[in-house]
Structure 1
Amino acid sequence: MSAGTSEFFCLICALLSTCTALTADLGQNVTMPCQFFGNKHNNITLLKWSRPDQGPDSYILLYEDGRFHPDKQLPSYKDRVYLEDMETRDFSLILMNVTMEDRGPYECDFVEEGWNQLSRTTSTTFLEVVEPGNKDGNTGDGGNKTRVIVGSILGVILLLAVLGSVGFLIYRRLMKKNPNLPVPSDEAAAGQML
């Protein structure tokens, strides 16, 4: 995965607030969040942690039919992943001894069954791995990572400004073409507010 892809993913995470971005030092243990807040009496029929960037069946951890399936686990995660606390329905993934290859997106997906209905929950975490001591984002690339993030944010702001301006110009053009559209005067608008 290229450096630009990770910044783009982190920007989307920040804008949509549907996922978490974490940074871990090489060799460190990291916990990726995934919690169940539903009815604790509901049965969890499926729980899987996967790497969506590595294909559809790229399981880090798979629990299905009441048991774990280590035979379906990606080999590089064998004996390095654990759940925080299955009993309390905290499905956060603990990844031990983080490597550079662990960098990328992770998805926690679980299905609960209760009262003749199924509900599915998915959360996404993007893991950035850095050399120890580089938590400030200094990746030794001369600041390119920071420039990409700032440039991406400014690009989104500029895009929103352009879209707002275009919308305003379209509105003004419509008003010029049809001057008979009712526009409340200041006095009428003030009277409506009371």
Structure 2
Amino acid sequence: MISIKINVSKTIIVLLLLVVGLGLLTGVSARYVGDGYSHNVADNYYDSMSAQDILNKYNDTTCHAEETAVCTKVVDGDTIYLSNGDKIRLVGVNTPERGVQGYKASKEFVKKLCLNKQVSVDVDDKKHSDKYGRTLGVVIVDNKNVNEMLLKEGIAEVMYIPPSEFNPYSWQ
């Protein structure tokens, strides 16, 4: 009876060490702790601006278009769907989720730039997709980096989860 209790205790300790070790190896919890990100940009801030007004503020990107398609849906500020069936998660950035302050402004910004327009994607060569099967990449419109623009506009935060080909801290 005593040896069974000791074996169960040892098994539990080993399992806990494995879980903690795997967490450290993947580094997700250690590298990204953003949760519930919000911002104070008004929902209608971009209403009076054209996509060209926004694009004119930014320099051309050094990212390279690896695929091109029409954006058919904007889910939120960091996820879009393309006509080729791909779901794109904008790598390196995090925007507010539905119900969180700033959600609408971030989503409307991306809609203005991308929806029903041809966009290109520079796919992250170090990590092609996320756990939801979305392609990770930089969205490019008129040779401008939309991920970078979200950060510079203050409507996204950096979400750097290595491995990644891209360093979003260089976009701020």
Q: State the TM-score, normalized to the length of structure 1.
A: 0.24
Instruction: Name the structure with the higher strand share.
Output: 1
Q: State the TM-score, normalized to the length of structure 2.
A: 0.26
